[in-house]
Amino acid sequence: PYLGVLPLVDEVNPTFTWSDEDLAALDGSPVVAATKSMQMKLQREYDDLLGGKGKLCDLYPDYFPREHFTYKNWVWAFTMLFSRAIRLRNLKNGEALALVPYADLINHSPYSQAYLDAREKGDWLFKTGTEEVVLYADRSYRKMEQIYISYGPKSNADLLLLYGFALERNPFNS
């Protein structure tokens, strides 16, 4: 069910999915070189793992059928990973990236100190052994007020490359 509600690549629109023609509108911006590098990296990783001659799609076609393991689907998967994954630092078994339903809908503000992380369920005395994802708010919020988290100290070039948006006032632009 969760995968079924994830957006299409065009709805996220990170620059690494743009055509050369679209990218030309940003000539002179550092995002162009970063985008070209990301595009080459994604193609190379796809070819090295799945799509190249003698790789997984050739070696194990029953498990990796080419009609499902296409480059287009590879780009969609990376778009979802880059734009939606959350780094959980306090897991019992160490740090991990996770797709967390609903938490991936929280928008970015470079000024927010709110964050998401994992913790063990239970109170200070009785822990259940299971873990949960928690939003740690940076202040009190009114009912129906939007909560933001920071995706990190990212310039508009980084935000465009990975998330498909830029901010009008971004303190991390040089």
Q: What amino acid is encoded at 88 in this protein?
A: L
Of the CA atoms within 13 Å of residue 58, those in its CB half-sphere come to 8
> What is the radius of gyration, based on Cα positions, of the chain?
19
Q: Quick one: tokens of 77?
A: 């998967």
Closest CA to 151 of 163, 135, 133, 139: 163
Given the residues 63, 141, 151, 163, the one annotated as active site: 151
- State yes or no: is 148 an active-site residue: no
Distance CA 26, CA 20 (A): 10
Any idea which residues carry the catalytic annotation? Answer: 151
